Amino acid sequence: MRAVMAMEPGGPEVLKLVEIPEPEPKPNHDRVMVTMAGVNPADALMRENQWLGPVTFPFVPGRELVGFLDDGRRVAGLTRDGAYAEYAWVERGLYWEIPDELTDGEACALASDGLTAWHLLYTALRIERHEVIAISEAGSALGGLAVQLAKSHGCYVVAIDHGEHRLEEARELGADAIVDCSDTEGLADRIRDSTGGLEIDAAVDLVGGETFKALFDALRFRGRMVVDGCASQNCGVVTHEDLVLGSKSITGFCLPNLFYDKHAMHKSMHTIFAAGVIGALSIPDETRIMRSDVQHAHRCLSPELPRNRHPGKLMLDMTGFYY
């Protein structure tokens, strides 16, 4: 079969279109003919060998896909890798039938990012109605879904991102206050001041670096924070003293660690799909790139690029494999 492989650790140039044997069947997995593969920061970190766990090269990247089972059902699914290919084997309980009302692109935009946003808020942070929630990268596909879910739960949302374009997107999605973090000088104070006197109860950080530290500092006494990913590719630092004196808490989150809980994944995915169907969630715009341009797709993930160059959800159109 045809696939995209990362041949060795490195930049986007290590991604190559190759012919490889179709993967062997796995117990409790079903084969999916892939039509769309999500392009996510985790893919780039794995390609660079900067992922949290070990990566064996060469490998086929891609952790999110849309396609067809052998019985003809159209599904969205999650894998640990292997989605940038003609076929992938997906564990039962980690793929979900797509409602007819949603396109492949819409389902791909809601799968990994929708589930991550859901579990960041409800599983990790356990948000409550009327809380004040600060969300970084709020103009991204993931951040925008988190803004909408927090608002639908009755929270006051502070959106944090780079530049007017991204912040306006977050405001259109329902954010009550916006803060530009292009300049991190005095960022914690600006986050606190944005609420008109309300204290920050909880925060979602998708960025790391100085934004992570500013969000932590902006939290109220006994505030809590969840961290997922690191879009800036720079780790933030919080001291033991910071944690103890503020009685604050930080929780790490990685969606694959929930793969064992098939019931939670099933329930949340179907709720998100239903919200997309009835229009309760604004689905991130697609930036669809042909699989032959996979190196370009990964360059779009670079933190050095302007943040609004490719808004919405990046995805590879894999249908070229079948012609």
Q: What is the CATH number of the domain that holds 143?
A: 3.40.50.720
Task: Classify residue 265: in a domain, yes or no.
Answer: no
94 and 120 in a common domain: no
Task: Classify residue 20: in a domain, yes or no.
Answer: yes
pLDDT in tens, 183-216: 999 999 999 999 999 999 999 999 999 999 999 9
d(CA 99, CA 147): 24
Residues in the chain: 323
**Range with the lowest mean pLDDT among 53-57, 63-67, 85-89?**
53-57
Query: Of 239 and 6, which is predicted with more confidence?
Result: 6
77 and 62 in a common domain: yes
Task: Classify residue 173: in a domain, yes or no.
Answer: yes
Q: What is the CATH number of the domain that holds 290?
A: 3.90.180.10
Task: Classify residue 267: in a domain, yes or no.
Answer: no
pLDDT in tens, 72-99: 999 999 999 999 999 999 999 999 999 9
Closest C-alpha among 194, 211, 207, 187 to residue 133:
194
303 and 205 in a common domain: no
pLDDT in tens, 143-187: 999 999 999 999 999 999 998 889 999 999 999 999 999 999 999
Asked whether residue 281 carries a pLDDT value surpassing 60, the answer given is yes
**β pairing state of 200-205 and 286-290:** unpaired
196 and 102 in a common domain: no
Per-residue pLDDT band for 312 (boundaries 50, 70, 90) equals confident
The pTM score is 0.94
Task: Classify residue 174: in a domain, yes or no.
Answer: yes
Whether residue 58 is preceded by a cis peptide bond, meaning omega within 30 degrees of 0, is yes
DSSP state of 154: T
125 and 38 in a common domain: no
Domain that holds residue 37: 2-109+281-322
Task: Classify residue 302: in a domain, yes or no.
Answer: yes
Q: What percent of the chain is predicted at pLDDT more than 70?
A: 94
119 and 103 in a common domain: no
Asked whether residue 306 carries a pLDDT value surpassing 60, the answer given is no
Per-residue pLDDT at 13: 97
Closest C-alpha among 255, 307, 309 to residue 137:
307
Three-state DSSP state, 290: strand
Task: Classify residue 99: in a domain, yes or no.
Answer: yes
**Secondary structure (DSSP) of 89-141:** EEETTSEEEPPTTS-HHHHHHHSHHHHHHHHIIIIII---TT-EEEEESTTSH
Q: What percent of the chain is predicted at pLDDT more than 90?
A: 83
Structurally, how many domains does the chain consist of?
A: 2
